[in-house]
Structure 1
Amino acid sequence: MINLCFHGIGTPPDDVPAEEAAYWISADTFRRVLDLVAVRPDVHLSFDDGNTSDLTVALPELVERGRAAEFFVIAGRLGRPGSLSAADVRALRRSGMGVGSHGMDHRVWRRLTPPQVHTELVEARDRLQEVLDEPVVTAACPLGRYDRTTLGALRRLGYARVYTSDRALARPGAWRQARFSLRAHDTADDVAGWLRHGERYPVRAADQVRTFVKGLR
Structure 2
Amino acid sequence: MRAVTVNLALHGIGRPARQLDPGEDERWVTVEQFEQVLEAIQDKAHVHLTFDDGNESDVEIALPRLVDRGLTAEFFPLAGRLGQRGYLDRAGLRELARAGMEIGSHGWEPRDWRRLDDRHARRELTDAPKLLGDLCGRPVRRYSLPFGAYDKKVLTRLKQAGATRVYSSDGGAASQDGWLQARTELSHDLDDDWLDDVLVAGHRRAGNWVSRVFRRPVR
TM over 0.5: yes
Find out whether 1:208 has 2:210 as its counterpart: yes
User: Structure 1, residues 128-169: CA drift from partner, whole Å, max 9, x if none?
Assistant: 122112210101001111111110000011110010110121
Q: CA deviation at 1:187?
A: 2.0
Q: Which moved more, 1:21-30 or 1:124-133?
A: 124-133
Contact map agreement 1:139 1:162 (CA 8 A) in 2: yes
Secondary structure of residue in 1 paired with 2:27: coil
Gaps of at least 5 residues in structure 2 are: none
Give the match's secondary structure for 2:114. coil
d(CA) in 1 for partners of 2:207 and 2:78?
33
Instruction: For 1:32-43, list aligned pairs within 5 A.
Output: 32-43=36-47
Deviation at 1:115, TM superposition (A): 1.1
Whichever residue aligns with residue 105 of structure 2, its letter is S
SS at 1:22 equivalent: helix
Q: Counterparts of 1:129 and 1:14 in 2: how far apart (Å)? A: 26
Q: Does 1:136 align with 2:137?
A: no
Match of 2:154 in 1: 150
- 1:181-200 aligned at under 5 Å gives the runs 181-200=185-204
Task: Return the letter of the residue paired with 2:114.
Answer: R
Letter in 2 for 1:214: R
| Pair 1:57–1:42, CA change in 2 (3 A) | same
Q: CA RMSD in A?
A: 1.4
SS of corresponding position for 1:72: strand
One-letter code aligned to 1:208: V
Write the letter of the residue equivalent to 1:204.
A
3-state SS of paired residue (1:189): helix
- CA drift at 1:205: 4.7
Cα displacement (A) at 1:44: 0.6
Where do 5+ consecutive residues of structure 1 fail to align?
none
- Matched residue type, 2:199: L
Q: Sequence identity of aligned pairs in percent?
A: 39
| TM-score normalized with structure 2 length | 0.92
**Counterpart among 100, 103, 106 of residue 102 in structure 1:** 106
Number of equivalent positions: 212
Q: Structure 1 length normalisation: TM-score?
A: 0.93
| Aligned mates of 1:44, 1:205 — CA distance in 2 | 16
Give 2:32's aligned residue: 28
Q: Quote how far apart the aligned CAs of 1:13 are.
A: 3.7
